[in-house]
């Protein structure tokens, strides 16, 4: 069986790759394209470490076939900082120590960015529910939630 040829856009760059029909987007990002920021914690949709956006919608890349990327736009953690300039959530996670081992962090950041794009002024409850599919073994979540709330407030201030 010949591999499938897929044309897509990843972090704004037109990208082409070959994949097996059963390979997930996460497999291709990590093993085919060398974009290893997205992590595999479970491979079954439970942990969120593989979070990406597909046409600006937050999804688990482990639950998406790579072939489904054809003609669509993918954004991963690698597209978040612009060169040396960290995105505000990344900066805030560092300042507020919202990570320890860091395995969940790419997924948390991608998911939190997606939240703030949908809802720039979330309540703590909204943050917790939005991030309920992102598991963290280390932090106890509190620092992550506070970092997201603080970033949201700063970004709202900057937008005024």
Partner 1 sequence: MTDIQYVAPNTLDEAVGAFAAAGDDARVLAGGTDLLVQMRSGMVEPGLIVDIKQVAELTSVEETADGGFIVGAAVSGAVLEEHPRFGQVWPGVLEALNLIGSTQVQGRASAGGNLCNGSPAADSVPAMYAAGAIVTVQGPNGSRQMPVEEFPVGPGKTNLAPGEMLVSFTLPPRPPASSDAYLRMIPRTEMDIAVVGVGVSLTLEDGVCTAARVGLGAVAPTVLLVDAAAEALIGSTLDDAALDAAAAACSAACNPIDDKRGTIAYRTKVAGVLLKRTATIAADRAKGA
Q: How many residues bind ligand FES (CB under 6 A)?
A: 22
CB of 63 to ligand FAD, least distance (A): 6
Q: Which is nearer to ligand FES, 42 or 96 (CB)?
A: 42
**Residue 39-58 contact track with ligand FAD, rule CB under 6 A, x = bound:** -----xxx------------
- Among 25, 28, 47, 112, indicate the residue that binds ligand FES (CB under 6 A): 47
Cα(37)–Cα(77) distance, integer angstroms: 6
Q: Please tell me the count of residues contacting ligand FAD according to CB under 6 A.
A: 3
74 near 56, Cβ under 8 Å?
A: no
Task: State CA 24 to chain mean position distance.
Answer: 16
Element (H, E) at 125: helix 124-130
Q: Could you say which of 75, 90, 134, 139 contacts partner 1 (CB under 8 A)? A: 134
Specify the residue, 63 or 80, whose C-beta has the smaller distance to ligand FAD: 63
Q: Which long-range contacts does 35-42 make (Cβ < 8 Å, 24+ apart)?
A: 35/10, 35/76, 35/78, 37/76, 37/77, 37/78, 37/106, 38/76, 38/77, 38/106, 38/107, 39/103, 39/104, 39/106, 39/107, 41/103, 41/104, 41/107, 41/135
| Token couple for 16 | 């082409």
Q: Which of residues 63-102 bind partner 1 (CB under 8 A)?
A: 63-65, 67-68, 70
Q: Of 8, 53, 139, 151, which lies in the binding site for ligand FES, with binding defined by CB under 6 A?
A: 139
> Six-digit token pair at 106?
């790419």
Nearer of residues 71 and 140 to ligand FES, judged by Cβ: 140
Q: Residue 23 or residue 159: which is nearer to ligand FES going by CB?
A: 23
Q: Is 114 in the site for partner 1 (CB under 8 A)?
A: yes
């Amino acid at each position: 069986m010949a591999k499938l040829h897929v044309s897509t856009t990843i972090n704004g760059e037109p990208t082409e790759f070959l994949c097996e029909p059963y390979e997930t987007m996460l497999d291709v990002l990590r093993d085919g394209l060398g974009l290893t920021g997205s992590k595999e914690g479970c491979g079954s949709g439970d942990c969120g470490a593989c979070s990406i956006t597909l046409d600006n919608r937050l999804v688990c890349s482990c639950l998406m076939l790579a072939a489904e990327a054809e003609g669509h736009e993918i954004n991963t953690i690698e597209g978040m900082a612009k060169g040396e300039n960290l995105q505000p959530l990344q900066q805030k996670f560092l300042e507020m120590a919202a990570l320890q081992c860091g395995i969940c962090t790419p997924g948390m950041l991608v998911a939190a960015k997606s939240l703030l794009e949908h809802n720039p002024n979330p309540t703590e409850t909204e943050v917790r529910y939005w991030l309920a599919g992102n598991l963290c073994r280390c932090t106890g979540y509190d620092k992550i939630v506070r970092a997201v709330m603080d970033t949201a407030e700063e970004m709202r201030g900057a937008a005024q």
